[in-house]
Amino acid sequence: MSPRQSGTERQPRPIRAGFSFLRSGCATACNLRGRLAYLLTMTRLIRPLTAALMLGLAVPAVPAHAEARVPRDRAEIGLGFAPVVKEVAPAVVSIYARRIIATRQSPFMDDPFFREFFGDIGQMRPQVQNSLGSGVILSGDGIVVTNYHVIGAATDIRVVLKDRREFGARVILGDEESDLAVLKLDVPEELPHLALRDSDRVEVGELVLAIGNPFGVGQTVSSGIISGLARSGVLTGQVRGYFLQTDAPINPGNSGGALVDVNGALIGINTSILSRSGGSNGIGFAIPSNLVGQFVEQARAGNERFERPWAGMTGQPVEADMAASLGLSVPGGVLVSDLHAESPFAGAGLQVGDVVTHVDGQPVDSPSEMLFRMSVAGVGASAHVAYMREGREQVADVAMIRPPETPEADERRLPRDSALPGLALARVNPALIARLDLPLSTQGVIVTEPGPYGARAGLRTGDVIARVNGAPVETSAAAARALEARGRWMVMDVLRRGQPLQLRFRL
């Protein structure tokens, strides 16, 4: 086996090979002609070597925020990531969160029926849960971004800086669905912080660093590349959205930490991994910085919850077997399958059967990508939408709006003397459709909370009450009056996710 194939022996480096040739030249230069040939050969070799050395010495003079590129020679590779880490690491923090959960000794207390009849029996036993994560300082006055699952329901949050200073923190904006939270530290001085980079300009193959506190061992830096863009879907729990994928090792405790480029700019917040063992397998996901920036903007504006624009539409990805029939040369985009009458897309002229291909110049291939692009644009803005209709490309400016609250929801809770005490009802409107994730065609009176008696009768949140004892109900007031009637039996016709069913129970 040759040395190159075995991997145990290495071929001489090009520079070493050159000097080996010079030594053999000295041995054979026994006459004037030989000496002149040797000197000419040496001159040809030394000139490029001198130029290469000069180029290597000039590398540190490149501006810190120059365009990202692959290192050109060993001198650049030898620099490593140390300068970037020194600049970035002070802005990455460790977060310690504590939450207290009350539990009962009696297992029957998990049933709403037993809680209603037997009251507060069973000794409450508080349990303390601790969680560890990471965070990123994004402004000198103490704005920190982390994952929601790191601090969700926490009663005490402590933030520890790289220099071991500790600060208490309060949550000023959190969103479980996006798995992002914004914290505020009360600090007496300017803190080191990171700048956000436009995540739409990130490319597959870019070198990146992941910084956080995995397993509580202390701040750790790992390196990798961007492995993929536009990763969407459900990853863990309620988290949905659009992610950057990286092979930089991410482990428990890295959640909420920084994913930065080679210039030290933040391009994402590390969130989760795909793993069967719980350790890193080289498939990690980060929330793009553009969405992080929108979160910080809403937090500074005083929003109590994160607001997403309402599309008022449902859609599906265009697969290969659908593309030709829709007039597309290649599969891609989102097929509009349903539109609410109040949808801003309908107001801009889109119809069922159109294929949305771009939002604000960026391609979209799934509903999650569309929601991400709309969320980045923000409520109150206007998004430039490109779509295909019968093989022709068209464009429209779509207003990014909140879900309308018309007709009035008229939410009410039934009193104790009604047939189902504690049952909460409301009239369906776009705001409720968005809040409860209902089909766009939902109309009528909806159950917003079944209460203990309603749960025992078989009702669930999101059920639409169509009839009570055969009488149709169209408003929450009419449903409340119908449920005040007392008799021996009650029959309710209900729609659950569009499927009809009948509930019959004895009073």
DSSP annotation string for 200-243: GG--TT-EEEEEE-GGGS--EEEEEEEEEEEEEEE-STT-EEEE
Both tokens of 105, joined, read 């000794």
Quick check: is 179 catalytic? yes
Residue 324, pLDDT score: 86
Residues 460 and 469: beta-carbon distance below 8 Å: no
Quick check: is 437 catalytic? no
- Measured N-to-C along each axis, helices 289-300 and 367-377 cross at an angle, to the nearest 10 degrees, of 40
Q: What is the dihedral of CA 361, 365, 371, 375, to 10 degrees?
A: -30
**Residue matched to tokens 């909806």:** 446
Q: Catalytic pick from 94, 175, 178, 179? A: 179
Structure confidence at residue 240 as a pLDDT band (50, 70, 90): low
Residues 222 and 210: beta-carbon distance below 8 Å: yes
Q: What is the DSSP letter of 300?
A: H
Q: Measured between alpha carbons, how far is 127 from 99 in angstroms, rounded to an integer?
A: 8
Structure confidence at residue 100 as a pLDDT band (50, 70, 90): confident
Alpha-carbon distances, residue 408 vs 72, 179, 343, 412, 427 (angstroms): 65, 31, 17, 12, 7
Q: Measured between alpha carbons, how far is 175 from 271 in angstroms, rounded to an integer?
A: 13
Tell me how many degrees the CA angle 17-20-21 measures, rounded to the nearest 5.
Answer: 90
Residue 19, pLDDT score: 35
Both tokens of 155, joined, read 């009663």
Please give the CATH architecture assigned to the domain spanning 313-399.
Roll (2.30)
Pick the CATH number of 412-506 from 3.10.450.230, 2.30.42.10, 3.40.720.10, 1.10.1040.10: 2.30.42.10
Q: Measured between alpha carbons, how far is 169 from 157 in angstroms, rounded to an integer?
A: 6
The gap between the terminal CA atoms of the chain, to the nearest Å, is 88
Same fold, 313-399 and 412-506: yes
% residues pLDDT > 70 (the chain): 75
Residue 38, pLDDT score: 47
Tens of pLDDT, residue by residue over 21-51, are 333 333 333 444 445 444 444 545 444 444 4
Both tokens of 66, joined, read 């120059």
Whether 205 shows a pLDDT value over 50: the answer reads yes
Higher per-residue pLDDT: 303 or 62: 303
Whether 438 shows a pLDDT value over 70: the answer reads yes
Question: Which fold is adopted by the domain 80-306?
Answer: Thrombin, subunit H (2.40.10)
Both tokens of 183, joined, read 């914290």
Q: Catalytic pick from 149, 222, 227, 340? A: 149
Of residues 470, 303, 272, the one with CA closest to residue 375? 303
Find all residues with CB under 8 Å of 1, minimum gap 6, and list them. none
In terms of Cβ atoms closer than 10 Å to its own Cβ (0-12, 13-18, 19+), residue 261 is buried
Higher per-residue pLDDT: 31 or 414: 414
Write down the domain spans for the chain. 14-58, 80-306, 313-399, 412-506
Other C-beta atoms closer than 10 Å to the C-beta of 491 total: 12
Q: What is the mean pLDDT of residues 396-422?
A: 93
Tens of pLDDT, residue by residue over 362-402, are 999 999 899 999 999 999 999 999 999 988 999 999 999 99
Both tokens of 295, joined, read 């979160």
Tens of pLDDT, residue by residue over 112-149, are 555 555 555 555 666 676 878 999 999 999 999 999 99
Over the chain, what is the mean pLDDT? Answer: 82
Q: Measured between alpha carbons, how far is 316 from 332 in angstroms, rounded to an integer?
A: 10
Coil, strand or helix at 322:
helix
Find all residues with CB under 8 Å of 105, minimum gap 6, and list them. 122, 123, 125
Q: What is the DSSP letter of 405?
A: -
Residue 505, pLDDT score: 83
Tens of pLDDT, residue by residue over 441-498, are 899 999 999 999 999 989 999 999 999 988 899 999 999 988 886 677 889 999 998 8
Whether 54 shows a pLDDT value over 90: the answer reads no
Higher per-residue pLDDT: 156 or 6: 156
Q: Catalytic pick from 131, 227, 232, 255? A: 255
Task: Give 189's Cβ-side CA count (13 Å radius).
Answer: 2
Structure confidence at residue 2 as a pLDDT band (50, 70, 90): very low
Q: What is the mean pLDDT of residues 276-283?
A: 69
Residue 327, pLDDT score: 83
Residue 67, pLDDT score: 62
Quick check: is 280 catalytic? no
Of residues 467, 481, 495, the one with CA closest to residue 419? 481
| Residue 145 bridge partners (DSSP) | 136, 182
